[in-house]
């Protein structure tokens, strides 16, 4: 039987700088929270208001002849001069949970960044305006229209993306390529998406 | 949008743009921002501002109470994990 662990429990065993997401309950509502492990001494003295940029993107790829679309949320946390990436596997074994996360991110008002160090208690938590809601509302349908992929293919795709691009390069790529954009309803395409995702893949220049 | 922008400032900006920009200008703006240019001026502007509000942050009223973290196999957590770039 595979050992289960809480999200925070997993995170605090990972190196500093690790980041992931979970669905948790805040004031009676289920919300997606973004969790980061950083040193208490770095996070505790941060001011009440901090500058943050968020970006999201769905990166369609062909892996072993099958379409896979890893979705990434990136948080540029200005006071720590750090960019974090967190991944969503729409069809992973935790599929229904991930799909619920898409739905929640599509409608929750805030994005939450929660900082942990060694235990389950938050060192600091910050709430921001949700500017990726539109992206997640659009990409729920886009991912749903794709044939399901398995965890292995997702991990291969993620590994390929990470080996092709550093965090900073991926951050710039999401903006420059327009891949974080949702396709237009008037037929214009951004992020090279078409109904069967025929040309939706990392462009040659990105390889 | 600059750090420190408040909801009131954002609303003021939206009203100002609604009054001073034509529907065509706003639709062009939406296309440039990569959002759907359908709906009223306000609908479109809201989508554009949502897209652009990447640095708008608000203080969270303390304490933040988070409950109900999930339990899952380690490999499912590992799947979500990303890297950090630090300047």
Which sequence spans correspond to the domains of chain B? 1-59
pLDDT score of A47:
83
pLDDT score of A112:
92
Tell me which residues of chain A have a pLDDT lower than 50.
Answer: 181-207
Measured from the Cβ of residue A73, the count of other Cβ atoms closer than 10 Å reads 27
- The A residues from 15 to 34 touching B (CB cutoff 8 Å) are 17-27, 30, 33
pLDDT score of A23:
96
pLDDT tens column, B29-73: 888 777 788 888 888 887 777 666 544 455 555 567 888 999 999
E runs forming strands in A9-70: 19-26, 29-37, 52-58, 61-63, 66-68
Residues 6+ apart with CB under 8 A from B70: A6, A7, A22, A23, A24, A97
Measured from the Cβ of residue A106, the count of other Cβ atoms closer than 10 Å reads 18
Q: Name the H helices within chain A.
A: 7-11, 40-43, 95-107, 133-144, 151-164, 167-176
Q: Does B83 sit within 8 Å of A51, measured CB to CB?
A: no
A19-26 and A4-6 strand pairing:
unpaired
Does A159 contact chain B (CB < 8 Å)? Answer: no
Q: Does A23 sit within 8 Å of B70, measured CB to CB?
A: yes
Q: Could you tell me the pTM of the whole model?
A: 0.74
């Amino acid at each position: 039987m595979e050992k289960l662990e809480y999200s925070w429990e997993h995170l605090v065993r990972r190196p500093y700088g690790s980041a992931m997401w979970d669905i948790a309950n805040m004031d009676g509502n289920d919300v997606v929270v973004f969790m980061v492990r950083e040193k208490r001494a770095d996070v505790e003295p941060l001011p009440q208001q901090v500058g943050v940029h968020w970006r999201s993107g769905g990166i369609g790829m062909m892996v072993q002849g099958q379409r896979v679309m890893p979705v990434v949320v990136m948080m540029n946390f200005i006071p720590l001069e750090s960019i974090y990436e967190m991944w969503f596997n729409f069809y992973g074994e935790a599929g229904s949970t991930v799909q619920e996360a898409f739905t929640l991110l599509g409608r929750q008002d805030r994005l939450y960044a929660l900082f942990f160090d060694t235990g389950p208690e938050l060192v600091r938590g910050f709430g921001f305006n949700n500017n990726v809601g539109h992206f997640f509302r659009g990409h729920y349908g886009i991912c749903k229209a794709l044939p399901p992929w398995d965890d292995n293919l997702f991990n291969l795709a993620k590994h390929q993306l990470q080996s092709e691009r550093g965090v900073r390069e991926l951050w710039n790529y999401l903006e420059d390529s327009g891949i974080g954009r949702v396709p237009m309803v008037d037929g214009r395409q951004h992020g090279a998406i078409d109904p069967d995702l025929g040309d939706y893949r990392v462009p040659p220049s990105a390889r | 949008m600059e750090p420190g922008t408040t909801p009131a400032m954002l609303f003021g900006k939206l009203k100002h743009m609604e009054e001073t920009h034509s529907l065509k200008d706003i639709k062009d703006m939406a296309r440039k921002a990569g959002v759907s240019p359908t709906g009223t001026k306000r609908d479109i502007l809201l989508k554009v501002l949502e897209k652009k509000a990447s640095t708008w942050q608000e203080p969270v009223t303390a304490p933040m109470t988070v409950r109900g973290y999930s339990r899952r196999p380690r490999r499912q957590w590992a799947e979500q994990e990303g890297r950090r770039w630090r300047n």
